[in-house]
């Protein structure tokens, strides 16, 4: 990306003439805060979402990508070349994130690796004095998520979690409407992901890793086992050693919006029913069908995941995963495409106004990476702090633990543990393969 100067930056935002007339300090828009210095960013995990995050971040004037790190050397080279073509500068390339983090010119790091790597790489990055944008779920266990909160605060780093709905005006406005109280008391919340992919996920034999892939480093702290294509790029998310299936993938995004809308952090209890009911013989370990029920005291939360048609109850306009808040006077339903209010009726009269669908109108990811960029400069907490990331990961992981144990679990938020089941507590913390160690503070 050719580096933009300040004038071009403002022009891109459609405020060029205003910018020539007013000093920047008088421009009353969060989106055009002054960059104080260049922010040199680096990316660990260059394939999927990490790459999307990097390209979004680089839309901000005053940013440059100085380094990339990946264990797939072929992909790493392709990405380095793409960046060189786009920006005229070739980033340094690394296969070991610890060498990458020694780079003094690096201010901030995006972590786009599979979930089982997030805790090690995030805590190492904080200890190395870098600010961090870490993908969701922030970790593959509740214990790791708690350590990551400690690391961010101990090293005083700006940490943004990739739950980008937190910066998207579409979600912010819908939740603000909910909080006006016009729907009355919210007694139940439903969140769902009906996805129409993952049906033909056939079992394939173990094989040699692709040329140029450091498979042992890809596994990292996870159990050693032969390479299998199904457990690798992209589809690692359906295997417990690396991720938590649809629950920690889509679930984290949607459950986060429930926590934000209801101003709560953790449930009192959770139970779950499900299994590999739709595709019992496919390659995935994680359930294709799962319903988890959480008790938050004042309201209940029901999460449903299934692989069917890609539908969105209440929101026929689009089949995105979503959330519905069910109140005394109406239901507010929202997904990434739109939100609307369905009023309840009594004696033929609506109890609240009908709100027709309001569509998403801006790129939420760009808002989120810009918020990270601004906070690197201002040193303020970003829109999705590590604590917010921990809470969403915790709720999702608890749902998976309830499913895996088949028990109703009580959560003790003070002790950060399950109070009624010792076996279930064994899922809270991962067992790392040597030489990798859980961060010790």
Ligand X SMILES: NC(=O)c1ccc[n+]([C@@H]2O[C@H](COP(=O)([O-])OP(=O)(O)OC[C@H]3O[C@@H](n4cnc5c(N)ncnc54)[C@H](O)[C@@H]3O)[C@@H](O)[C@H]2O)c1
Closest alpha carbon to 400 in 295, 236, 251, 260: 251
User: How far apart are alpha carbons 9 and 24 in whole angstroms?
Assistant: 12
Q: How far is CA 61 from CA 12, 154, 319, 376, in A?
A: 10, 30, 35, 14
Nearer CB in complex with ligand X: 113/269: 113
Shortest Cβ 119–ligand X spacing (Å)? 11
SS3 5: coil
Report the interface residues with ligand X, using CB under 6 A: 44-50, 69-72, 75, 97, 112-115, 117, 135-136, 162, 164, 217-218, 220, 233-234, 236, 249
User: How far apart are alpha carbons 371 and 196 in whole angstroms?
Assistant: 32
User: How far apart are alpha carbons 256 and 166 in whole angstroms?
Assistant: 9
Nearer CB in complex with ligand X: 117/299: 117
Residue whose CB is nearest to ligand X in the complex, by number: 48
- Judge whether 246 and 308 are in contact, CB under 8 Å: no
Helix (H) or strand (E) holding 75: helix 73-87
User: How far apart are alpha carbons 69 and 440 in whole angstroms?
Assistant: 24
Task: State residue 116 phi and psi, 5-degree precision.
Answer: -70, -10
Shortest Cβ 52–ligand X spacing (Å)? 7
Nearer CB in complex with ligand X: 44/151: 44
Nearer CB in complex with ligand X: 352/360: 360
Shortest Cβ 139–ligand X spacing (Å)? 9
Shortest Cβ 270–ligand X spacing (Å)? 21
Provide the phi-psi class of 388: left if phi over 0, else alpha when psi is between -120 and 50, else beta: alpha
- Judge whether 327 and 184 are in contact, CB under 8 Å: yes
Nearer CB in complex with ligand X: 327/389: 389
Shortest Cβ 81–ligand X spacing (Å)? 15
Shortest Cβ 74–ligand X spacing (Å)? 10
Report the number of secondary-structure helices (H) and strands (E) in the chain. 13, 18
Q: Kindly provide the residue ranges of all beta strands, DSSP E only, lying in 61-164, ordered along the sequence.
A: 63-69, 92-94, 108-111, 131-134, 159-161
Q: What is the DSSP letter of 433?
A: P
Shortest Cβ 233–ligand X spacing (Å)? 4
Nearer CB in complex with ligand X: 11/217: 217
Shortest Cβ 235–ligand X spacing (Å)? 8
Nearer CB in complex with ligand X: 283/331: 283
Nearer CB in complex with ligand X: 161/375: 161
């Amino acid at each position: 990306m050719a580096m933009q100067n300040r004038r071009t930056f403002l022009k891109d935002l459609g405020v060029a003439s205003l910018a020539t007339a007013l000093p920047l300090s008088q421009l009353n828009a969060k989106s055009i805060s002054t960059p104080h210095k260049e922010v040199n960013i680096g990316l660990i995990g260059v394939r999927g979402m990490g790459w999307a995050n990097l390209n979004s971040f680089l839309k901000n004037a005053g940013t440059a990508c100085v380094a990339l790190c990946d264990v797939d050397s072929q992909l790493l080279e392709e990405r380095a070349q793409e960046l060189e073509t786009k920006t005229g500068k070739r980033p340094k390339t690394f296969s070991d994130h610890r060498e990458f983090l020694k780079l003094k010119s690096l201010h901030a790091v995006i972590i786009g690796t599979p979930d089982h790597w997030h805790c090690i790489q995030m805590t190492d990055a904080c200890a190395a004095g870098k600010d961090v944008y870490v993908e969701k779920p922030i970790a593959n266990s509740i214990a790791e998520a708690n350590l990551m909160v400690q690391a961010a605060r101990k090293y005083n780093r700006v940490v943004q979690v990739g739950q980008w709905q937190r910066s998207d005006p579409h979600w912010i406005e819908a939740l603000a409407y909910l909080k006006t109280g016009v729907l009355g008391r919210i007694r139940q919340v439903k969140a769902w992901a009906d996805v129409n992919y993952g049906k033909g996920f056939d079992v394939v034999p173990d094989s040699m890793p692709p040329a140029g892939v450091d498979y042992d480093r890809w596994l990292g702290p996870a159990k050693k086992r032969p390479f299998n294509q199904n457990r690798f790029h992209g589809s690692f998310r359906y295997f417990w050693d690396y991720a938590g299936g649809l629950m920690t993938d889509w679930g984290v995004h949607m459950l986060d919006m429930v926590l934000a809308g209801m101003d709560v952090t953790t449930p009192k209890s959770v139970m779950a029913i499900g299994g590999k009911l739709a595709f019992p013989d496919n390659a995935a370990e994680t359930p294709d069908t799962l319903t988890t029920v959480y008790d938050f005291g004042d309201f209940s939360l029901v999460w449903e995941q299934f692989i069917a048609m890609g539908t969105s109850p209440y929101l026929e306009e689009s089949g995105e995963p979503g959330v519905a808040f069910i109140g005394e006077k109406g239901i507010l339903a929202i997904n990434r495409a739109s939100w609307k209010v369905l009023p309840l009726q009594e004696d033929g009269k609506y109890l609240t106004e009908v709100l027709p669908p309001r569509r998403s109108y801006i790129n939420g990811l760009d808002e989120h990476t810009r918020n990270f960029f601004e906070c690197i400069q201002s040193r303020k907490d970003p829109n999705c702090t590590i604590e917010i990331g921990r809470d969403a990961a915790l709720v999702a992981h608890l749902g998976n633990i309830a499913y895996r144990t088949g028990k109703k679990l009580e959560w003790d938020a003070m002790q950060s543990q399950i109070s009624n089941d010792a076996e279930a507590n064994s899922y809270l913390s991962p067992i790392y393969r040597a030489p990798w160690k859980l961060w010790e503070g």
